[in-house]
Structure 1
Amino acid sequence: MIPVRSPRRGLILGVTITLGCVSGLGLLAGSLYMLFYGSEGACEEPGARERLARVSAVVPAAAAGTVPVAERSGAECMDDSGEPWMSANSVYTHGGDVQPLITHYWDTATADGWKPVGTRAKAQERFRGVSGMCFRKDVAGEPALLRVGSVRPGEFLVAVESALDGSSMDC
């Protein structure tokens, strides 16, 4: 007697093999992601809140004559780019003359151990540039940046930033 095979047997076998391969690739991809990205440095880690508190604590005091813009200030951990980082920032309004702001933040930052990126002679140009004046120092043993710069006429931003994994960031 000759065994009779169902015409669907090949289709079922093909679907089963395909699903098995897709599941295996999914597990492999998920494991690789966790190995390289998800296993450390996520904003949900217990140490992330501590790091954010340390970063927030080193934001310099406001310059005289400035007014904070509360709804545009705050601290957060951002992990939308795959490289989680902390940012504590404050936006202020000012009377228009930026030179007193530049002097205040340059002197305050350097007195507090921040190392300027660039020279004081270029500070006004950098203040008005995309990155703003930029300073570096370690905060609780990990690299951080202090940026001070114009947001728009009459407003400026003071931000301290640090990568969650402790890597250095560029100005």
Structure 2
Amino acid sequence: MTPRKRTGRCAALLLTAALATGALTGCRPLADAASASCEDTGSRVDALKSYDVLDSRPPGTIVPQGFEDLQAGCWEDSGEAWLYADRTYVFPGDKAEVIQYYEAAAEREGWKPSKATRQALKENRSASLCFTRGKTDDATTLDVYFLTKEILDAEETKTGPDFDAGFGYRVAVNSTADGSAASCSD
């Protein structure tokens, strides 16, 4: 399988991080504020891969062909580096079942829903979910999001027939490479 290009959701995370970095650094030039790189991040990537929620999934979930392996690593773009570990699944049921499942799984592991996620859950909307660890680990986020054609096209990902059995979604644990605070883009 060809490695996916880390765009789409990752680009949105980067834009959010860039804007937040400017605000938090008193508007220092972005090049000065965003100087993290992927060098020596292997142990932190391994830590992201260890989160149980990545292997947790609702009964009936399919691991699609070509997505059997946990994807993990570090990517750099525009001077900012991000660590990720994610899994891609296909679920043949209703999106609400996936949302309910991961809401409970995240809570069991100590993740707290973002403001936007709390609102979406309250309104019973099918939405992407984003969780943080709070003060325990303010550099890591958990995202559960549904894959769209645009995301898959941006990643240059080819999907097989497993995706015809339901809808694709991804469970991703992300972190800043330098360990600085990260948050969900509410």
User: Number of paired residues?
Assistant: 129
Q: Higher mean Cα deviation, 152-161 or 134-143?
A: 134-143
Which structure is richer in relative contact order (CA contacts within 8 A, separation 6 or more)?
2
Shift of 1:64: 1.4
TM-score by length of 1: 0.65
Residue matched to 1:18: none
Correspondence for 1:4: none
Using the TM superposition, give the Cα deviation of residue 82 of structure 1 relative to its aligned residue in structure 2, in angstroms.
Answer: 1.0
Unpaired runs of at least 5, structure 2 = 1-30, 149-165
Match status 1:146 vs 2:147: no
Task: Mark the CA change 1:136 to 1:117 in structure 2 (over 3 Å): closer, same or farther.
Answer: same
Which position in structure 1 is the counterpart of 2:170?
157
Structure with higher Rg: it is 1
Which of 92, 98, 108 is residue 111 of structure 1 equivalent to?
Answer: 108
Contact 1:65 1:94 in 2 (8 A): yes
| Distance (whole Å) between structure 2 residues aligned to residue 54 and residue 144 of structure 1 | 11
1:161–1:101 CA distance, 2 compared to 1 (3 A): same
Contact between 2:138 and 2:182, CA under 8 Å: does it hold in 1?
A: no
Alignment map for 1:160-171 (pairs within 5 Å): 160-171=173-184
Higher strand share: 1
SS in 1 for 2:66: helix
**TM-score, structure 2 normalization:** 0.60
Query: Please, what is the CA RMSD of the aligned residues?
Result: 2.6
Letter in 2 for 1:164: A
Is residue 137 from structure 1 mapped to residue 138 from structure 2 by the alignment? no
Structure 1 counterpart of 2:162? none
Q: Which runs of 5+ in 1 are unaligned?
A: 1-33
User: Which region of structure 1 is more displaced relative to structure 2, 137-146 or 113-122?
Assistant: 137-146
Counterpart position of 1:86: 83
Identity of aligned residues (%): 27
C-alpha contact 2:138 2:183 (8 A) present in aligned 1: no
Q: How many Å apart are 1:143 and its aligned residue?
A: 1.8
